[in-house]
Structure 1
Amino acid sequence: MRRALFIALLLLGLAALGLWVYGYLYLHGLACGFESSGSETCRINAPWTLRGEDATILLIIPGLTVATLFGLAWWAKPPKR
């Protein structure tokens, strides 16, 4: 039972991590579409340069979600035999 819970939480954590990366890139692509004209290039901002609500929405909330899922998976880890 604990092994199944561990695997499920681990897979959910990996899925959330993948969605976090995909969402970060997708939202930056949307922002580039709104702020740049056709000839300019738009660069993706490094995560550590974000401030304010951008950092909260794009980094802190998803990061806490991923960390919580991995923490719960570590807590549900079956004991060694």
Structure 2
Amino acid sequence: MLESRRQALAELSSRNNGKALPEAYQDLDDVIACYRYYAEAAVALGHRQGPTDLKALRYWDSIGVVGLITPWNFPLVSSA
């Protein structure tokens, strides 16, 4: 879906962040590659044969106040 809306999303990111359009395309291409990599890894794990020691857990325990500083120059790939 990101690839099909690549141009519109890059233009929106460029306007939102004030960055050059080629950099917005680079950020979006990195996001596409990131999601594709992890999607392919998840599919590969699902096709493993035999017993596996993989386990997924979700915790909802409060950990208190969290401070986070993220890079602002490539926000899409930071979010991905």
TM-score interval, smaller chain: 0.3 to 0.5
TM-score, normalised to structure 1's length?
0.38
- Relative to its length, the structure with more helix (as a share) is 1
TM-score, normalised to structure 2's length?
0.38
